[in-house]
A and B are shown apart, each in its own frame.
Chain A
Amino acid sequence: MLLNMRVNGINYALDVNPRLRLLDVLREKLSLTGAKEGCGEGECGGCTIILDGLAVNSCLVLAHQAEGKEIITIEGLEKDGELDRLQQSFIDKGAVQCGYCTPGMLMSCKALLMKNPNPSNEEIKEAIEGNLCRCTGYIKIIDAVRAVADSKEGGN
């Protein structure tokens, strides 16, 4: 099928097998390998991207379901060589260890802040409840989101 979608501000028309998962399309057709497969069943959140403003597991989305959609991946957060404040906060707060969950974690947090610039800690935890991390115990990740939300520019 011909798949039309907009990824990180660029329009694509791709000839893809409709049975492919969006995760595979991003990783293999567009070489956007930031999204990771940690389980393939929507349980780990490693493949999280933002689809029409919502954080979704791209391993659970079939290619045809992305038709006409607006997608942001981890590669789309940095603008003109400048990190998104959330990315910078992850660095500043030490929220990154092995980094494998980081792209998915960032996208879940970004989607949260896009909708809710000033979330409570409970809301932050809820936003990443589907993102597993084995390294950090989530504590510094929550701190990083908190810091952005509490900054004078706010979460958005």
Chain B
Amino acid sequence: MKDDLKYIGKTLPIHDVREKVTGQLRYVGDMMLHNMLYGKLLLSSISHGIIKEIDTSKAEALQGVIKVFTYKNSVDKKYNSYMWYKAMDTVKDEVLFTNRVRFMGDRIAAVVATSKEIAEEALTLIKVDYEELPFIDAEGALVEENIKIHPWGNIMSKREMENGRVDEALKKDLTIVEDTIETQKVHHAAMETHACVADSTPDGTITLWSPCQVAFQVQLIVSEALGIPTSKIRVIKTAMGGSFGGKGQPILEPICAYLSLNTGAPVRLEVSRAQAIIGTRTRNATKGRVRIAVDKEGMIVGRDIDVLVDGGAYHTNGDAVALAMGKKAFRLYRIKNQRYKSTTVYSNTPIGGACRGYGSPQIHAITEINIDNAARAIGMDPVELRLKNLVHPYDKDPLNGPDLGNGRVIDCLEKGKKAFNWEEKFNNRGQEGRFVTGVGVACGVHGNGYYGAHPDYMMMTLKVLEDGKILMLSGLHDLGCGTITTMKQIVGEVLKIHPDNIIIPEADTFYSPYDSAGTQASRVTFVCGGCAQETANLLKEKIYKYSAAILECTEDAIEMLEGVITNSEKPSDRISLSDLLSKVRYQFKREISVTNTYESKANPGVYTVNFVEVMIDKLTGMVKILDVLSVSDIGRAINPGFVEGQVHGAIQMGIGFALSEEIKLDAKGRVTTANFSKYHVINAPDMPKVKVILVEEGEEYGPFGAKSIGELATVAIAPAIINAINWALDINISSLPATPEKIIEALNKKAKQA
């Protein structure tokens, strides 16, 4: 690709880095408003039941307690926190506070007090009498007909999609490899737990400060849950201490707004780590049965996938995750006959939600472990088998979804194979002795926004300011990944102005032009960045037009560099952007500004391939990751340092998914891993070195050719690790995470069979 670019492809620091390294950045939990009160939530201690009686009198009598809210004295309007636009058709089954407990973590009450210590003490004084009901897990939900978690039953949705004729394909004289693979519930583990601040005025106008992903969604959900018009709700996106999807759905915001409205004071509502693990959102657990048919040459002839998705206690996006999983299954390999079926159920377990990859890590765990088993079954190198079957650039989606675009997964695999020295490592397993080594590989696909599924457009205003800087007004949310800097680089490149001179406030529903979907679905770089590029081009046209008029030359003669506009035919004729604005205001009575609506025109695939080397202690079952190579087809890196950072973090998250992270429940559905000593996030000593290779071949509709990376980078690492373990030990781990116990069990089973 052409390399005459000034700011694209450069590693610049994240825009607010100085405030971050000095501790000056104010997150919402650092906010203090005059007369601010403190809110705390009481979550249910049982997984399933009915509240017979709730007594809040002692809590209310505690000095410093302003009010206690339960289902008895709060609004009872159903909503679905997953909804981000009003026309969305979905099931509304949540309320602010419930009297019917559907999981350990359901919201029972909120206390508002003058200090957080008093609020916490008051929680202990609330007495709840439950009538307990049997705990229903996902498998139980499939068969339980008498006890219904929601009045309409325990099945949330069923989906089926198919191309070709799967049943016929699987009957042919082929090698059929069947696996049933389970993936667990995972906590996002953003270091900042959920929090927000709400303030209200006597006329009922609410202002909410929230580290959110979709400010307009927060506004909509508060409106839905409280039954007040959106025009009375202002949402301001604050600094975000990590989200990974966990803060995508508004959880605390409607409650916090309600507490403020009903106490007439500003309220800060925060949850503890335990409450964040139990009572916010989780990665949906899944159980997938997959049958793949391959011929002797390693061509995949057919595949049949049937997945059970554990939606948890409330609907949220359980069905959407199941759908997203299915779509991915058709966009990685050329499979002529394929069927994907899903059943999504309610269960008395923590609620599912968006989680980095949105079903992709789950479906790739299921299918990529199975592909390795197919390769083993026919005695073929799993890289070779993949190379024979992967999609090619500009392939069509067999389900008539958006075109795959310039999908370069084959390039990724070939480059990675060489860089990792795959063949030698694969063929030389160190199987002797206590410590064995092995390598694994997996591929993955993800998307770029909602084109083809939901409205995907963005409005943006760009204007020249008095001092010659450029202001962008838009509904952007930086989740800590560098979105703001990325947009500055795109606009800076178009206008040839240093990104430091572009000013970008984040989303504020009162001032930001509408954005249809926020920071979700890997759409920000591709769609919002596309909007930034197009809008900057429109602003540039306007600047050129006014400059030509004022410098009395043709627009073709205009050149602009770092805010200085020159008539290239007479270089002494020049004017700064700042002076240009003064003259335009005086002579033309106009601003130099444009407002543009950009609609996404595509949703190409992005691809990643991960190679992993592991060492396993056969005595203890402990796995050490020695080496990771991540190769991703991202079109073009706007900021290569950010891209690397995204990959590193995604690998950290994926290693946890593969080896150690799991929200565990006991037989009664109570969460037993509600802190970081029991919920094991990978720490620095366990983190391997990670090599990052980028394939940058450009994507037509992406800004400067760019596609997404942050979610993509976590979708293939877990199956690559499991494949490495299975290859090293010649076992078949099919349940994540691959804990030492499971590995020892598999080794014992293998020893018995031998």
Q: A94-B13, A128-B684 are in contact. Are A137 and B24 (CB under 8 A)?
A: no
Does B21 interact with chain A (Cβ within 8 Å)?
A: yes
- CB-nearest residue of chain B relative to A141? B684
Does A101 interact with chain B (Cβ within 8 Å)?
A: yes
Choice from B652, B677, B690 contacting A134 with Cβ under 8 Å: B652
Set of chain B residues within 8 Å of A87, measured between Cβ atoms: 21-22
Does A118 interact with chain B (Cβ within 8 Å)?
A: no
Main secondary structure of the interface of B (DSSP, over half): loop
Contact across chains for A74 and B684 when beta carbons are under 8 A apart: no
Does A5 interact with chain B (Cβ within 8 Å)?
A: no
**Closest approach, in angstroms, between the C-beta of B227 and any C-beta of chain A?**
34
Please encode chain A, from 86 to 109, with 1 for each CB lying within 8 Å of some chain B CB and 0 for all others: 011011101011111111001000
Cα–Cα distance between A74 and B164 once the two chains are bound (Å) = 61
Interface segment, B166-174, B478-486, B551-559?
Answer: B478-486
**Closest approach, in angstroms, between the C-beta of B692 and any C-beta of chain A?**
10
Please encode chain B, from 679 to 718, with 1 for each CB lying within 8 Å of some chain A CB and 0 for all others: 0010111010110000000000000000000000000000
Does B71 interact with chain A (Cβ within 8 Å)?
A: no
Does A18 interact with chain B (Cβ within 8 Å)?
A: no
Does B191 interact with chain A (Cβ within 8 Å)?
A: yes
Contact across chains for B30 and A126 when beta carbons are under 8 A apart: no
Set of chain A residues within 8 Å of B689, measured between Cβ atoms: 139
Q: List 23 A-B contacts (CB under 8 A).
A: A36-B192, A38-B192, A39-B676, A44-B273, A87-B21, A96-B13, A96-B21, A98-B191, A98-B480, A99-B17, A100-B191, A102-B21, A125-B685, A125-B687, A128-B684, A132-B189, A132-B676, A132-B681, A134-B189, A135-B649, A137-B650, A138-B683, A138-B684
**Closest approach, in angstroms, between the C-beta of B625 and any C-beta of chain A?**
11
**Closest approach, in angstroms, between the C-beta of A117 and any C-beta of chain B?**
19
Interface residues of chain A, those whose CB is within 8 Å of chain B, are 27, 32-41, 43-44, 46, 73-75, 77-78, 83, 87-88, 90-92, 94, 96-103, 106, 122, 124-126, 128-142
Set of chain B residues within 8 Å of A36, measured between Cβ atoms: 27, 29, 191-192, 241
Contact across chains for A137 and B648 when beta carbons are under 8 A apart: yes
Contact across chains for B687 and A139 when beta carbons are under 8 A apart: yes
Set of chain B residues within 8 Å of A78, measured between Cβ atoms: 22
- CB-nearest residue of chain A relative to B16? A99
Cα–Cα distance between A124 and B683 once the two chains are bound (Å) = 12
Contact across chains for B648 and A77 when beta carbons are under 8 A apart: no
Contact across chains for A37 and B676 when beta carbons are under 8 A apart: no
Contact across chains for B273 and A136 when beta carbons are under 8 A apart: no
Contact across chains for A137 and B191 when beta carbons are under 8 A apart: no
**Closest approach, in angstroms, between the C-beta of A76 and any C-beta of chain B?**
9
Set of chain B residues within 8 Å of A132, measured between Cβ atoms: 189, 191, 676, 681, 683
Interface residues of chain B, those whose CB is within 8 Å of chain A, are 11, 13-14, 16-27, 29-30, 188-193, 239-242, 244, 272-273, 479-482, 641-642, 644-645, 647-653, 675-677, 681, 683-685, 687, 689-690
Contact across chains for B24 and A34 when beta carbons are under 8 A apart: yes
Choice from A94, A125, A131, A134 contacting B644 with Cβ under 8 Å: A94
Q: A36-B192, A94-B641 are in contact. Are A134 and B653 (CB under 8 A)?
A: yes
Cα–Cα distance between A137 and B673 once the two chains are bound (Å) = 22
Contact across chains for B645 and A44 when beta carbons are under 8 A apart: no
Choice from B11, B191, B240, B642 contacting A38 with Cβ under 8 Å: B191
Choice from A73, A75, A100 contacting B192 with Cβ under 8 Å: A100
Cα–Cα distance between A25 and B468 once the two chains are bound (Å) = 44
Cα–Cα distance between A100 and B17 once the two chains are bound (Å) = 11
Cα–Cα distance between A126 and B241 once the two chains are bound (Å) = 24
**Closest approach, in angstroms, between the C-beta of B193 and any C-beta of chain A?**
7
Cα–Cα distance between A85 and B410 once the two chains are bound (Å) = 43
Choice from B22, B26, B677 contacting A41 with Cβ under 8 Å: B677
Cα–Cα distance between A45 and B17 once the two chains are bound (Å) = 20
Set of chain B residues within 8 Å of A43, measured between Cβ atoms: 273, 675-677
Set of chain B residues within 8 Å of A91, measured between Cβ atoms: 13, 17-18, 21
Contact across chains for B648 and A136 when beta carbons are under 8 A apart: yes
**Closest approach, in angstroms, between the C-beta of B20 and any C-beta of chain A?**
3
Set of chain B residues within 8 Å of A142, measured between Cβ atoms: 684
Set of chain A residues within 8 Å of B690, measured between Cβ atoms: 137, 139
Q: A136-B648, A137-B687, A139-B689 are in contact. Are A33 and B480 (CB under 8 A)?
A: no
- CB-nearest residue of chain A relative to B30? A33
- CB-nearest residue of chain B relative to A87? B21
Most buried by B among A38, A75, A129: A38
Q: A43-B677, A97-B14 are in contact. Are A135 and B24 (CB under 8 A)?
A: no
**Closest approach, in angstroms, between the C-beta of A22 and any C-beta of chain B?**
15
List of 6 A-B pairs having minimum Cβ-Cβ separation, nearest first? A34-B23, A98-B480, A100-B241, A137-B648, A99-B20, A74-B23
**Closest approach, in angstroms, between the C-beta of A25 and any C-beta of chain B?**
13
Contact across chains for B21 and A106 when beta carbons are under 8 A apart: yes
- CB-nearest residue of chain A relative to B273? A39
Cα–Cα distance between A132 and B683 once the two chains are bound (Å) = 6
Contact across chains for B23 and A135 when beta carbons are under 8 A apart: no
Choice from B11, B27, B681, B687 contacting A94 with Cβ under 8 Å: B11
Contact across chains for A126 and B21 when beta carbons are under 8 A apart: no
**Closest approach, in angstroms, between the C-beta of A32 and any C-beta of chain B?**
7
Set of chain A residues within 8 Å of B648, measured between Cβ atoms: 136-140
Set of chain A residues within 8 Å of B685, measured between Cβ atoms: 122, 125-126, 129
Most buried by A among B21, B647, B652: B21
Given contacts A43-B675, A132-B681, A140-B645, 12 further A-B contacts (CB under 8 A): A34-B23, A96-B17, A97-B242, A97-B480, A98-B240, A99-B25, A102-B20, A132-B683, A135-B242, A136-B648, A139-B689, A140-B648
Contact across chains for A98 and B684 when beta carbons are under 8 A apart: no
Cα–Cα distance between A139 and B651 once the two chains are bound (Å) = 11
**Closest approach, in angstroms, between the C-beta of B607 and any C-beta of chain A?**
20
Set of chain A residues within 8 Å of B649, measured between Cβ atoms: 97, 133-137
Set of chain B residues within 8 Å of A73, measured between Cβ atoms: 23
Contact across chains for A34 and B22 when beta carbons are under 8 A apart: yes
**Closest approach, in angstroms, between the C-beta of A65 and any C-beta of chain B?**
18
Set of chain A residues within 8 Å of B27, measured between Cβ atoms: 36, 100
